[in-house]
Homo-oligomer: A and B are copies of this chain.
Amino acid sequence: MGSVVVDAAEMVEFARRYDPQPIHVDAAAAMAGPFGGLIASGWLTAALFMRLFVDRVLNRSHALVSPGVEELRWLRPVRAGDVLSGRYHVLEVLESERDPARGTVRARAELLNGGGEVVMSLVARNMFRRRSASSPPPSS
């Protein structure tokens, strides 16, 4: 799924706008805190994952809307300079009962840092238009 480098300026800019907690925006406070420095907002980490997912999966298929995600977990701190790479593991594919031209993919996605540690995981649901609508099953 490709990778992305966490940019120091973007990390603070994002947090100033959306998540202005000291641990994300106040270098001195963060230095004295549990992580010894600034860490990324979990929502920036999620947004960076989304960009990888859009570039590598959604914009290469006929993606429809997503109803949401389950089990979004922030497992380890993310810092400026971290190289995050994505992993996407399909759990199940569900054909729509209402529209056979659509299906839902349920998948576990993970972001790993350069040390191979999982920093974020989530279970995503995404609806897609199928490549070719299956014919209805023969009425036997």
Binding site for B on A (CB under 8 A): 14, 17-21, 23, 34, 41-43, 46-48, 50-51, 54-55, 58-59, 63-74
Q: How far is the CA of A54 from the CA of B21 in the complex (A)?
A: 7
Q: Which residue of the partner chain, among B19, B20, B42, B51, contacts A17 with CB atoms under 8 Å?
A: B51
Residues of B within 8 A of A63 (CB): 21
Closest to A58 in B: B21
Closest to A10 in B: B17
A-B contact pairs, 26 of them (CB 8 A): A14-B47, A18-B47, A18-B48, A18-B50, A19-B50, A19-B51, A19-B54, A20-B54, A20-B59, A21-B54, A21-B58, A21-B59, A21-B63, A34-B64, A42-B66, A42-B68, A43-B43, A43-B46, A43-B47, A46-B46, A68-B71, A68-B73, A69-B72, A70-B70, A70-B71, A70-B72
